[in-house]
Amino acid sequence: MESGRKVDRDAFRGVPGSTHYRDVPCGLIDASWAGRSVHVAGWVHRRRDKGGVKFVLLRDRTGLVQLAFEPERTPADVIAAAGALNPEDVLWIRGDIEARPPGAVNPDMATGEVEIRVREMTVLASSDPLPILVAIPPEEDLPSEELRLRHRVLDLRRAELQRNFVTRHLATNGARASLSQQGFLEVETPFLTRRTPEGARDYLVPSRIHHGEFYALPQSPQLYKQLLMAAGFDRYFQVARCLRDEDLRADRQPEFTQIDVEMAFVAEDDVFAVCERMLFDMFASTLDREIPVPFPRMTWAEAVESYGTDKPDLRIDWRIRDFSQALGGRGFGIVDGAIEAGGRVRGIVVPGGAALSRSRLDAINETARRSGAKGALWMKVTEDGFTGPAARAVDDEAGSILRSDFGVEPGDLVLMIAGPDSESSPALDVLRRELATELGASSEGEEWVWVTDFPLFEADPETGEPAASHHPFTMPVDVTPEELLADPFSVRSRAYDLVLNGTELASGSIRCHEPALQRAILEALGMTAEQVDARFGFLLEAFRYGVPPHGGFALGLDRLVALMVGVSSLRDVIAFPKTTAARGLMEGAPSAVDNELLADLGIRLDGPRAGGTDD
């Protein structure tokens, strides 16, 4: 709140103006309060002495206000006590609000035109020496993330994080209001549910009453929201907590929040319109900004062909091109060999990339290898022609084609991957984004896009067997159960993702509401008829009694808020996040439990414990 940005007072609508300890929150005091005597309360943000006058910045969630302890107005014992205050002591203050002299006005504070001349002070709570600072000067680096997570309560007092959670609150309220106006009902679904294989690992909860049986915490409300459609609820939403036991990174947490939406009697256009209006309303109410709707659309096949990924960052103009015909059959073994093996030579034209050094190009080659390719081919375009390893495939005819069909110009770099698409697409996606960032080729602003028509199945990387591309409850496109089982990898689905600047924000589909087709999908995933009945019989049973066509989406609230406030880590928008090792450092979770409790649950541990028992 001292960062040069004034507090957005609209963000604090509803903050109580008067309580037992305060007449007004600190950050809402402005020049209109001058001449009034008030009670305020908050934390000591910073203290400084200036001759006989002592100044304290008092902080609460709304911002800062300056307290002045001066001999003409403040009792001597209060001035003495002010000199002994520690950062983060909690104070109650009675004093008079007065306008600051013109030379003392602080334009970077929302309350910078006034100060409180203190008459009375009570220390409500004293603070021990701080393990991390809350009032961190702008020129200083933050403490390590591990230390901040260990002392998360102090870290959450920082103005930057408090602003993040104001944004999160406003965004969530905006979503609720928009969906409610569109006729949706908010319905809660169970947290203790049945384990169903949907992709990631479940968190399991042992039953004390039914030994040997376990609940699962929901990865998503997927099946319940479909059951609500079968139950006639027509339009449902939920701000849903989801839990998945999977490996973590900066943009993934074991527990996260999604805005979950489902509706009956709809096709894709209906779902897109609801989501776009919700997002429009969220940005307008949260950031006072209009986003351009409707969003453009692109098929999955086009996205992977042109950008190497189903999450294309459209701020980068460069598209992936197929150089196979231009460069093939000209005696360059790497190119010809890749094409003869059924692969292609695909790449990007990097404007200005010819300025990159040989050592940088060697590093690019290593990046391509780490991304799954055998390496990267490159050539620079000069006034005199083409240079570099791939230039051996360029004769006069190829050079003419590159100039006319691909628009290459002197100063450009042509960067290519030879091999199957499964290798070239991921590598070119990485290189495209990395070089665009390095060369400043990514435009400002936001580029939204719906990616549609995903494959229904993808090959499991270990077994090669079908795995659900989105999830097993997605409607296939124009296929019978028999056709699906005969050639599952050829089947397209009515699935879609919403992508913003290369980040997937929402995912959804039109659901499979035909029992026979749903059974075929589950059998294609390797389940026997008996396993289908055991795991999903309750869903298929409901479908026997008339279920409407339905579909929806789930939007990652944590990820959206992180983009709204401009942070790279979801931990900055989640109050009490986990580390990448899935640990809560502040509270010490997970922890071991004693044998008596385990016995009550019918559980016995084999092998040594990782830690001690709890109390």
The reply to whether 30 and 161 lie within a common domain is no
The reply to whether 336 and 196 lie within a common domain is no
- For residue 480, being part of any structural domain is answered with no
Label residues 460-492 b or e (16+ Cβ within 10 Å = b): eeeeeebbbbbbbbbbbeebebeebbeebeebb
Domain span at 418 = 317-442
What secondary structure does DSSP assign to 441-474, as a single string?
A: -BPSS--EEEEE--BSEEE-TTT--EEESS-TTB
Residue 387 has pLDDT above 90, yes or no: yes
Separation in Å, CA 37 to CA 31, 53, 124? 13, 20, 20
- For residue 323, being part of any structural domain is answered with yes
- For residue 155, being part of any structural domain is answered with yes
Pairing of the two strands 344-350 and 321-322:
antiparallel
Q: Token pair for residue 607?
A: 């092998």
Residue 286 has pLDDT above 60, yes or no: yes
- Cα torsion 152, 153, 158, 160: sign: positive
Burial class of residue 610 in the structure, from the number of CB atoms within 10 Å of its CB (0-12 exposed, 13-18 middle, 19+ buried) = exposed
Residue 77 has pLDDT above 90, yes or no: yes
The reply to whether 272 and 172 lie within a common domain is yes
The reply to whether 366 and 343 lie within a common domain is yes
- What CATH number is associated with residue 576? 3.30.930.10
> For 520, phi and psi rounded to 5 degrees?
-65, -40
Q: How far apart are CA 407 and CA 416, in angstroms?
A: 15
21: helix, strand or coil: coil
Q: How confident is the model at residue 252 (pLDDT cuts 50, 70, 90)?
A: confident
**Predicted pLDDT at 404:** 95
- Give 353's DSSP letter: G
- For residue 469, being part of any structural domain is answered with no
Average pLDDT over residues 11-22: 68
Higher pLDDT, residue 588 or 612: 588
**Predicted pLDDT at 318:** 96
Q: How far apart are CA 512 and CA 481, in angstroms?
A: 12
The reply to whether 379 and 255 lie within a common domain is no
**Predicted pLDDT at 15:** 54
Question: What whole-number percentage of the chain has pLDDT above 90?
Answer: 85
- Tell me the per-residue pLDDT of 396-428, one tens digit each, with 9 for 90 and over: 999 999 999 999 999 999 999 999 999 999 999
Residue 14 has pLDDT above 90, yes or no: no
- Tell me the per-residue pLDDT of 261-284, one tens digit each, with 9 for 90 and over: 999 999 999 999 999 999 999 999
Residue type present at position 278: M
- What CATH number is associated with residue 25? 2.40.50.140
- Cα torsion 166, 167, 169, 174: sign: positive
**Predicted pLDDT at 301:** 97
Q: How far apart are CA 203 and CA 186, in angstroms?
A: 25
**Predicted pLDDT at 8:** 54
Residue 304 has pLDDT above 70, yes or no: yes
CA dihedral 247, 249, 254, 258 (to 10 degrees): -130
Final residue belonging to a domain, choices 97, 129, 161: 129
- Tell me the per-residue pLDDT of 51-66, one tens digit each, with 9 for 90 and over: 789 999 999 999 999 9
Q: Give the number of domains in the chain.
A: 3
Burial class of residue 513 in the structure, from the number of CB atoms within 10 Å of its CB (0-12 exposed, 13-18 middle, 19+ buried) = buried
Residue 3 has pLDDT above 60, yes or no: no
Helical segments of 84-184, H only: 145-150, 152-155, 159-181
The reply to whether 99 and 214 lie within a common domain is no
Final residue belonging to a domain, choices 385, 412, 442: 442
Residue 611 has pLDDT above 60, yes or no: no
- Give 34's DSSP letter: T
Q: Token pair for residue 480?
A: 């019978």
- For residue 465, being part of any structural domain is answered with no
Final residue belonging to a domain, choices 410, 442, 474: 442
Separation in Å, CA 189 to CA 194, 253, 536? 12, 21, 17
The reply to whether 275 and 330 lie within a common domain is no
- What CATH number is associated with residue 377? 3.30.1360.30
Q: How far apart are CA 554 and CA 238, in angstroms?
A: 9
**Predicted pLDDT at 610:** 56
The reply to whether 124 and 150 lie within a common domain is no
Q: How confident is the model at residue 250 (pLDDT cuts 50, 70, 90)?
A: low
Lowest mean pLDDT among 83-87, 247-251, 291-295, 566-570: 247-251
The chain-wide mean pLDDT, for the chain, equals: 92
Q: Is 503 left (phi over 0), alpha (psi -120 to 50) or beta?
A: beta
- Tell me the per-residue pLDDT of 536-593, one tens digit each, with 9 for 90 and over: 999 999 999 999 999 999 999 999 999 999 998 899 999 999 998 899 999 999 999 8
- Tell me the per-residue pLDDT of 174-232, one tens digit each, with 9 for 90 and over: 999 999 999 999 999 999 998 876 667 899 999 999 999 999 999 999 999 999 999 99
- For residue 264, being part of any structural domain is answered with yes
pTM: 0.90
- Tell me the per-residue pLDDT of 469-515, one tens digit each, with 9 for 90 and over: 988 999 999 999 999 999 999 999 999 999 999 999 999 999 999 99
The reply to whether 125 and 148 lie within a common domain is no
Determine the number of helices (DSSP H) and then strands (DSSP E) in the chain.
17, 22
The alpha carbon of 488 is separated from its chain's Cα centroid by a whole number of angstroms, namely: 32
Cβ atoms of 414 and 381 within 8 Å: the answer is yes
The reply to whether 125 and 222 lie within a common domain is no
Q: How far apart are CA 270 and CA 549, in angstroms?
A: 12
The reply to whether 66 and 181 lie within a common domain is no
**Predicted pLDDT at 612:** 46
Higher pLDDT, residue 607 or 347: 347
Cβ atoms of 157 and 58 within 8 Å: the answer is no
- For residue 583, being part of any structural domain is answered with yes
- For residue 506, being part of any structural domain is answered with no
The reply to whether 38 and 122 lie within a common domain is yes
Q: How far apart are CA 530 and CA 533, in angstroms?
A: 5
